[in-house]
Amino acid sequence: MTNARRPLDPRVQALVQARLSRRSVLLGAAGLATLAACGTGSSTPSGSGGGGGGTAAAKPSPAADRSATEKVVNWANWTLYLDYDEDTKKYPTLEAFQKQTGIKATYAEDIDDNDTYYGKIQSQLRNGQDIGKDVIVFTDWMAARCIRSGFVQQLDQAQMPNAKNLLPALQNVDFDPGRKNSLTWQSGFGVLAWNKEKVPGGLKNVADLWKPELKGRVEVLSEMRDTIGLIMLEQGVDISKNFTSAQYEAAVDELQKHIADGQIRQVKGNSYKEDLISGDALAVIGWSGDIFQINAENGDKWGLTLPEAGGTLWSDNMLVPVGSPHKTNAEKLMNYYYDPKVAATVEAYVNYICPVQGAKEEMEKIDPDLAASPWIFPDDATLAKAKVFRTLTPDEETQYSESFQKVIGN
């Protein structure tokens, strides 16, 4: 797989075909949103709490780049977020990247949610130290915090000619004007999902999670903007607009009630998937791509939808930590994944919203049905079905995060 657009490597082609054969459920999915809003809702980082944005401290200096002599790049990402071959136990597109560039790439599914991963690395970032990763992936609001704090390196656009393929709606986000420090990895939806056998009527609203028959079998996300965002939308609040502290706290109170009475089993990051698979959880607030992936591996057992009141819409972003000694290698990796053919191969596995122009056309060559999925390539007509959680002020970020973390027991 190269920029010259040679045919897909046969192993990659086989992976894609296997994935697609199990993903016809995509075409029946309902309740979608356009990517046009994705660039508007990133959070301004906190000036306190988690080391996010103290303005008094000096920002660390970027590490010297040793890419010319050290042909390695180390990538930390979320789970189920890159094409994976169960037979070889490898990532086909990453294998192809290594053959194409001669750069040895390591990949670790280290990120379960933004706060916990940031908590592990923030001290090293603050001191400008190498965290052992050259690419990390954070959601808009946490990417904003890292950029504002000087915890990431500015990207060299000359090393990433494929960055021109970034969707226009994502090219000039408020937390990183001109995309000087980040590139979108994927975008996605916060959704309701359920075990179709155990919850035969399905879910339409967040309130359906509170039904007595689901007590102790519900899980929600530890990402505040998704869980609280969906509850606020249910309560009639537009999370993309200037809602009040009282409106936010009303949603937190609702969450606290259902944690306290045992309706909610656990509040989790990406690991909620395992509880759906085991059957410990029957209904969740989850992420769209996750549900498609576990369906592909487990016989299409789960339904999903955006709530009638609306779902959340977000983006995750690739960043180079300030202490990374392999910035140029990291930029080559980002550039590679912005090749439309490579992006289409990844999407055939992850089923999130693709940020790369031209990937839909490449997907049509692989499988026209998947290219028609509005979960991956949403159209403008579905704009009203999801909202981006609005930008918070530093004071709001601190207040709201502390309130949420207290309720979920952190």
Distance, in Å, from the CA atom of 211 to the CA atom of 83, rounded to the nearest integer, reads 36
SS3 305: strand
Q: Residue 174 has what pLDDT?
A: 86
Q: What is the largest CA-CA distance in the chain?
A: 61
Name the DSSP class of 321: B
Q: Residue 10 has what pLDDT?
A: 40
- Beta-strand ranges (E) seen in 269-310 are 283-287, 302-305
For residue 111, what are its two tokens?
């990120």
Distance, in Å, from the CA atom of 262 to the CA atom of 281, rounded to the nearest integer, reads 13
Residue 299 to residues 63, 152, 306, 367, Cα–Cα distance (Å): 47, 41, 21, 20
Handedness of CA 293, 296, 297, 301 (dihedral sign): positive
Long-range contacts of 398-405 (CB under 8 A, 24+ apart): 398/46, 398/47, 398/48, 398/49, 399/245, 400/224, 400/228, 400/248, 401/46, 401/49, 401/50, 401/115, 401/224, 402/49, 403/248, 403/249, 403/252, 404/224, 404/228, 404/252, 404/255, 405/115
CATH class of 42-186+315-366: alpha beta
Pairing of strands 264-268, 183-195: unpaired
**Degrees to nearest 5, angle at CA 378 with 17 and 28:** 60
Residue 84 to residues 24, 94, 320, 345, 346, Cα–Cα distance (Å): 19, 9, 23, 11, 9
Q: Residue 24 has what pLDDT?
A: 37
Amino acid letter for position 298: N
Q: Residue 329 has what pLDDT?
A: 98
Distance, in Å, from the CA atom of 235 to the CA atom of 218, rounded to the nearest integer, reads 19
Q: Residue 239 has what pLDDT?
A: 96
Distance, in Å, from the CA atom of 263 to the CA atom of 255, rounded to the nearest integer, reads 10
- Output the tens digit of pLDDT for each of the chain's 410 residues: 223 333 334 433 443 443 433 333 333 443 333 344 444 344 333 333 334 444 456 899 999 999 999 999 999 999 989 999 999 999 999 999 999 999 999 999 999 989 999 999 999 999 999 999 999 999 999 999 999 999 999 999 999 999 999 999 899 888 999 999 999 999 999 999 999 999 999 999 999 999 999 999 999 999 999 999 999 999 999 999 999 999 999 999 999 999 999 999 999 998 999 999 999 999 999 999 899 889 988 999 999 999 999 999 999 999 999 999 999 999 999 999 999 999 999 999 998 999 999 999 999 998 898 899 888 998 766 546 889 898 888 899 999 999 999 999 97
Distance, in Å, from the CA atom of 199 to the CA atom of 282, rounded to the nearest integer, reads 7
Q: Which helix (H) or strand (E) holds 38?
A: none
Spatial contact of 196 and 303, defined as CB atoms under 8 Å apart = yes
